[in-house]
A = this chain, B = another copy of it.
Amino acid sequence: MNNNEVKDNKVINKIQNLAEMLEPKIISYRRDFHKYAEIGWLEFRTASLVAARLRDLGYHVEVGKAAVNADERAGLPSKDAFQSALERAAEQGADLEFLQVVKDGFTGVVGTITTGKGPTVALRFDMDALPIQESHAETHRPYREGFASVNLNNDHACGHDSHTATGLGIAEILRSLRVNFSGTVKLIFQPAEEGVRGARSMVASGVVDNVDYLLGHHVYTSWAVGEIISGLGNYSATQKFDAVIHGAAAHAGGNPQGGKNALLAASTAVLNLYAIPRHNAGATRINVGQLFAGSGRNVICAEARMVIETRGANNELSDYMYQKALQVLDGAARMYDCTLEIIPMGSAPSASSDQILAQRVEDVGSQIGNLTFLPPAHSGGSEDFTYMMKRVQEKGGQAANIGIGARFQSVNSKVSNGHEKILMSHTPEFDFDERAIKIAMTLLSATVMDIFNSSKTAG
């Protein structure tokens, strides 16, 4: 055991004590965010509270256009949605001055604390909820215990409430340890992760340009509390977009030749989108998740909207699928003299965690104790944190994303075969074990301090 480890252990103990102490407050934060859940680009109240808390803690805070590039945002809500979300946030306690700054969809918040030298370590927390109506069943703890979302069709069904609260906990821990380190801490609270819409605009605003180490995390109900995957990787590249085919209506009985049948064009497109050839360089995916078309039984369909995503094991493969998809859609629209509108709804590059940083997290974790590190798994999905990871990696820094086990043992979680029931994310019944919050606070804070301390030692 060398000096570093001694020091680390002392720091780790301090962090564990702070996390223990903060836990009830951070859980109450989480439940508050949960109750007033807000979907992507409309996290007005959430961001307002985050910014206020960071300022209280002494962080330098950037919000609005300083944190979010206007042109690189995707999947923005309608004007009406903005307006009613702003009114609701004001009613639910958001700061009115803050709302003025972020009101047109600039709900990112960045808090910085620095000692002036040493490396820059950034941590990212996503803040948005999902457009799901939360369960009001008695078996659903948030409902039973009174913190289910009061906002209709806004539900933290993916645990970002936990991430945001954890971010505020880490802010407080690292603030307390400021005398112990040399370096800069950057806490990035990101809007609109769902639909992979928000990270790109924060990257474009430059918030990770000077970052040496970047850490993200996500709670997962697939794994038990205490189980960790350090270095989530192999995120697929993805492009999400809507395709609207505009035709012309006509009376289907009296004037069948008069219309331009957008549904025939869309159906042709659907078949041919799935038929885009496989690629010998790796896995590709396409999905038309939704199709909404037509206005009446007896009217030639004048408009059809397809909700589409392409994926690829790397950026080239995703782009291959996307370009082929555009060609298919264009041909299908022309076939029926229709026009095609493509509405980008978000995208994320493929990326993987740096193994060296992931290993560092695991090493730190082994000093904390009671954690089990699972072998790295292919995530299968997409995450727009990859935009940030890639930028940091391109600039020579390291990035890693950490999975935090959080399987909830609810009163209903025992099923007949003795296995716990997993409350899946993106469902109305989603819930997780809040003990994961303390683990995330501890592990991430300790990793940040380890980086600072190694850096000092190295220097």
Contacts and interface: CB of A to CB of B under 8 A. Distances in A.
A260 B253 CA distance: 25
Contacts of A320: 257
Given A257-B320, A270-B264, A294-B307, A288 B301 contact: yes
A251 interface: yes
A287 B263 CA distance: 10
A287 B298 contact: yes
Contact of A296 (B268, B289, B331, B334): B289
A290 interface: yes
A79 interface: no
A371 interface: no
A380 to B, nearest CB: 4
B297 A280 contact: no
B288 A253 contact: no
A297 B334 contact: no
Interface in A239-256: 240, 251-256
Interface string A317-345: 00010000001101111111100000001
A360 B73 CA distance: 59
A334 B269 CA distance: 12
A274 B328 CA distance: 14
A332 to B, nearest CB: 6
A271 B264 contact: yes
A284 interface: yes
A290 B293 contact: yes
Given A280-B283, A291-B294, 6 more contacts: A254-B380, A256-B280, A267-B291, A288-B301, A291-B301, A331-B336
Interface of A: 195, 236, 238, 240, 251-257, 259, 261, 263-264, 266-268, 270-272, 274-275, 277-281, 283-285, 287-301, 304, 307-309, 311, 320, 327-328, 330-337, 345, 380-382, 426
Sorted nearest first, the 6 A-B pairs with minimum C-beta distance are: A331-B335, A290-B294, A252-B287, A274-B275, A254-B380, A267-B267
20 contacts: A251-B380, A251-B381, A253-B287, A254-B381, A263-B290, A268-B271, A271-B275, A272-B275, A272-B335, A278-B278, A278-B283, A280-B283, A296-B307, A296-B426, A297-B307, A297-B309, A327-B334, A331-B333, A331-B335, A332-B335
